[in-house]
Amino acid sequence: MNNLAAVIPVIDFGTFLETGEDAAESARVVSAFEEFGAVVVHDPRVSAAANDLFLDMMEQYFEQPETKKLADARPQLQYQVGYTPPFRERPRDHRERIEIMATKERPSIPTEADAKGRYYWRVGTPPATTQFPSLNADNVVPEGFPEWSATMDGWGHHMLNAAIAISELLASGLGEEKDALTRRMIGAPHLLDPTGVDLGAFGKNGTICAGFHYDLNFLSLHGKPRFPGLDIWTRGNKRIAAELPDGCLLIQAGRQLEYLTGGRLLNGYHQVVVNEKTLAAIEDAKAAGHSLWRISSTFFAHIASDELLEPVVGLTDAVRSDLYPSRLAGELVQEELKAIGLST
């Protein structure tokens, strides 16, 4: 296992933000997604203070009693806004994929639902009309957090802006128009996705907070959490501990990006499991009197629910477009939600 930035290229947005293009970084973005399914980015607009404010508030939120949090759950909306209780989401069975890996690269095999709970907060402008109202529902604001919307939108917009910049760099690098991806993201149900695991209760070595899986969305962005435990896998099935340098974001390819590129870029896999570094961080947090909730500062960028998903971006002769039949992004999302136990 290696430190992330030692392995995966770190993309600097500086020139792109000044000039609106950066051919060299575009090429590096493409090769990073091809080889690793992920990039690390340094976005000078992303403030560590906004991440801290967000993590502080989410720790307070998750520390509340379960009955209080359940008032914010919306099972009838497939949990696509508000609170999702722990031990609800169950990863797909990926054992076939795991068995081809070298033993030392293998993830933990999930045997039950994930220990993580989560809060979904929709970010960005909703669509004017949609065939998928439950995927585009209004946000839930929990009681007792007057600063909630401003804090969530503050961090959420940092993440959305980074997602837009990487999508423009990526589209250019794939030989497409700069807006080939972002024009499909207009009115999409982007979600800020803080997950929470009570390491005070579940912080034993090997606890699966989030079992080995890919993400069903377009791109997943991760800010730096206060507890380690995230591992990602490269296209060549190498496992990497996602130790982020300060001030950087990890961006991993999701299912919708794989679809649009006809498999030229594959969705990345990851897990969050308590390991020895997590245990050390738990001891430090206890000694310092800090919260023992592990909060992830994750953001799911989406393609708009009513947009067609089909292989149309950056295609090469080698891609197997036939594996990706046309369908609406919202249909793909609903099928994936069923497979992981969030909808019936």
Interacting residue ranges for ligand NAG, rule: CB under 6 A: 205-206, 276
Q: Is the CB of 207 or the CB of 261 nearer to ligand NAG?
A: 207
Asked if residues 282 and 199 have their Cβ atoms less than 8 Å apart, the reply is yes
215 touches which of Fe ion, ligand NAG, none (CB within 5 to 8 A by kind)?
A: Fe ion
Query: Which of these segments, 100-108, 214-222, 225-233, 335-343, binds Fe ion (CB under 5 A)?
Result: 214-222
Residue 113 one-letter amino acid: A
**One residue of 22, 59, 193, 215 binding Fe ion per CB under 5 A:** 215
Say if residue 283 is exposed, middle or buried (CB neighbours under 10 Å; 0-12, 13-18, 19+).
exposed
Q: Which residue has the tokens 């999302």?
A: 333
Residue in 301, 89, 86 with CA at minimum distance from that of residue 191: 301
Report the nearest approach of Fe ion to the CB of residue 270 (Å): 6
Structure-block tokens of residue 119: 């809060």
2 touches which of ligand NAG, Fe ion, none (CB within 5 to 8 A by kind)?
A: none
Asked if residues 224 and 248 have their Cβ atoms less than 8 Å apart, the reply is yes
Residue in 265, 242, 202, 245 with CA at minimum distance from that of residue 1: 242
Report the nearest approach of ligand NAG to the CB of residue 205 (Å): 4
| 193 binds Fe ion per the rule CB under 5 A | no
Number of neighbouring beta carbons within 10 Å of residue 98: 17
Report the nearest approach of ligand NAG to the CB of residue 266 (Å): 27
Q: Is the CB of 65 or the CB of 206 nearer to ligand NAG?
A: 206
Which residues have CB under 8 Å from 107's CB, separation 6+?
98, 211, 212, 231, 233, 239, 269, 271, 273
| 43 binds Fe ion per the rule CB under 5 A | no
Q: Is the CB of 168 or the CB of 215 nearer to Fe ion?
A: 215
Q: Which residue has the tokens 């390491």?
A: 199
Query: Which of these segments, 4-12, 65-73, 177-185, 207-215, binds Fe ion (CB under 5 A)?
Result: 207-215
Q: State the number of binding residues for Fe ion (CB under 5 A).
A: 1
What's the rounded Cα separation, in Å, for the pair 278 and 236?
26
Report the nearest approach of ligand NAG to the CB of residue 276 (Å): 5
Residues that bind Fe ion in the complex, under the rule CB under 5 A? 215
